[in-house]
Chain A
Amino acid sequence: MQALYAQLLVGLINGSFYALLSLGLAVIFGMLNIINFAHGALYMMGAFVAYFLLNLGGINYWWALLLAPIIVGIFGMILERTMLQWLTGLDHLYGLLLTFGIALIVQGVFQNYFGSSGLPYAIPDQLKGGMNLGFMFLPVYRGWVVVFSLVVCLATWFLIEKTQLGAYLRAATENPTLVRAFGINVPRMITLTYGLGVGLAALAGVLSAPINQVRPLMGADLIIVVFAVVVIGGMGSIMGSIITGFALGVIEGLTKYFYPEASNTVVFVLMVLVLLVKPTGLTGRAA
Chain B
Amino acid sequence: MPDTAIAEAPARAATGGPILQVRNLEAWYGESHILHGINFDVNAGEVVTLLGRNGAGKTTTLKSIMGIIGKRSGSVKFNNQEIIRATSDRIARMGIAFCPEERGIFASLDVRENLMLPPVVRAGGLPLDQIFDLFPNLKERLGSQGTKLSGGEQQMLAIARILRTGASFLMLDEPTEGLAPVIIQQIGHTIARLKKEGFTILLVEQNFRFASTVADRYYVVEHGKIIDGFSNSELAANMDKLHTYLGV
CB distance from B202 to the nearest CB of A (A): 14
- Which of chain B's residues has its CB closest to A164's CB? B116
Q: A167-B117, A177-B68 are known contacts. Are A185 and B109 too (CB-CB below 8 A)?
A: no
Name the A residues within 8 Å of B218 (CB-CB): none
B98/A173 in contact, CB under 8 A: no
B89/A178 in contact, CB under 8 A: no
> Is residue A109 contacting chain B, with contact meaning CB distance below 8 A?
no
Q: A167-B109, A171-B106, A171-B108 are known contacts. Are A182 and B68 too (CB-CB below 8 A)?
A: no
Residue of A174, A175, A177 touching B88 (CB-CB under 8 A): A177
Name the B residues within 8 Å of A168 (CB-CB): 117
- Interface set, chain A 179-201, CB cutoff 8 A to B: 179-186
Name the B residues within 8 Å of A179 (CB-CB): 117
Name the A residues within 8 Å of B121 (CB-CB): 183
Residue of A167, A170, A178, A183 touching B116 (CB-CB under 8 A): A167
A182/B117 in contact, CB under 8 A: yes
Q: Which of B89, B92, B100 has most A Cβ within 10 Å?
A: B89
* A171 to B117 CA separation, bound complex (whole angstroms): 8
> Is residue B213 contacting chain A, with contact meaning CB distance below 8 A?
no
CB distance from B84 to the nearest CB of A (A): 16
* A272 to B93 CA separation, bound complex (whole angstroms): 48
- Which of chain A's residues has its CB closest to B162's CB? A182
B119/A170 in contact, CB under 8 A: no
CB distance from A191 to the nearest CB of B (A): 14
Q: How large is the interface on B (under 10, 10 to 19, 20 to 34, 35 or more residues)?
A: 20 to 34
> Is residue B17 contacting chain A, with contact meaning CB distance below 8 A?
no
Residue of B67, B107, B113, B119 touching A182 (CB-CB under 8 A): B119
Name the A residues within 8 Å of B162 (CB-CB): 182
Total interface residues in chain A, CB < 8 Å:
18
B117/A183 in contact, CB under 8 A: no
Residue of A174, A177, A182 touching B118 (CB-CB under 8 A): A182
A183/B165 in contact, CB under 8 A: yes
Q: A167-B116, A168-B117, A171-B117 are known contacts. Are A181 and B92 too (CB-CB below 8 A)?
A: yes
Give per-residue flags for A139-182: 1 if the beta carbon is below 8 A from chain B beta carbons, else 0.
00000000000000000000000001001101101110111111
Q: Which of A173, A184, A185 has most B Cβ within 10 Å?
A: A184
- Enumerate 18 A-B pairs (CB-CB under 8 Å) in ascending A order: A167-B116, A170-B108, A171-B106, A175-B104, A177-B68, A177-B88, A178-B100, A179-B117, A180-B87, A180-B88, A181-B68, A182-B117, A182-B119, A182-B165, A183-B89, A183-B118, A184-B89, A184-B119
Residues of A whose CB lies within 8 Å of any CB of B are 164, 167-168, 170-171, 173-175, 177-186
Cβ-closest 7 pairs across A and B: A183-B92, A182-B118, A181-B88, A170-B108, A178-B104, A171-B106, A167-B113
Q: A167-B109, A177-B88, A183-B92 are in contact. List 20 more A-B contacts (CB 8 A).
A: A167-B116, A168-B117, A170-B108, A170-B109, A173-B108, A174-B108, A177-B68, A178-B104, A180-B88, A181-B88, A181-B89, A181-B91, A182-B89, A182-B92, A182-B97, A182-B119, A182-B162, A183-B93, A183-B118, A186-B89
